[in-house]
Chains A and B, each alone.
Chain A
Amino acid sequence: NAGVTQTPKFHILKIGQSMTLQCTQDMNHNYMYWYRQDPGMGLKLIYYSVGAGITDKGEVPNGYNVSRSTTEDFPLRLELAAPSQTSVYFCASSYGPDTQYFGPGTRLTVL
């Protein structure tokens, strides 16, 4: 099992541009999550999904969108990127509300 994979690993975006961060898991987990981690801070939940076709907002959803068309994939879309979205983004998955497994992260810089 590859676990949770994320692409790209690094990216630089210009203000106002859009992009999609990809996340795939091969553990057949029903729950998937997107977090952001700012320097010296804990992780904050952006969006989550409890199954294909079902998504919901977390603590910091503004400026982001998600979709969940399959069990395996949970892409995160950034529209009109702003410098405040410079962060490290982590995708995670779990089977129900138990242990979450994390991807390696995407380090995003908005200039």
Chain B
Amino acid sequence: KQEVTQIPAALSVPEGENLVLNCSFTDSAIYNLQWFRQDPGKGLTSLLLIQSSQREQTSGRLNASLDKSSGRSTLYIAASQPGDSATYLCAVRPGGATNKLIFGTGTLLAVQP
């Protein structure tokens, strides 16, 4: 059974720092992996999607990497800003069962001004 873990559960950094959020999954047979941002009381906003054949994706100050063999993905945020404060969730779409996402429990990020 696919399980997704995100560590740490919470992270606080000063503004301007570069940071890395971690996501690990137990079954390397995945179709893709998606990173989301969730603001308090809001829905989820998709940040990046990495297909199983890709190693990384970039969007602005965000860079997501995928290492299927080790069951890991990282989300790198450069030059963090207070506006980056949110919960970051990763979700795996298992291979074969292409109609569901398995979510981690998220990392709550606070960027201090």
Contacts and interface: CB of A to CB of B under 8 A. Distances in A.
Interface of A: 4, 31, 33, 40-45, 48, 50, 56, 58-59, 90, 92, 97-105
A105 B104 contact: no
B43 A103 contact: yes
B25 interface: no
B101 A45 contact: yes
Contacts of A104: 42-43
Interface string B82-99: 000000010101000011
Interface of B: 4, 31-32, 34, 36, 41-46, 49, 89, 91, 93, 98-106
B42 A59 contact: no
Contacts of A42: 4, 89, 91, 102-106
A95 to B, nearest CB: 12
A91 to B, nearest CB: 9
A98 B105 contact: no
Contacts of A59: 100
A97 B98 contact: yes
Contacts of A40: 105
Contact of A98 (B44, B49, B102): B49
Residue from the set B36, B46, B101, B105 with the largest chain A CB neighbour count within 10 Å: B101
A103 B46 CA distance: 12
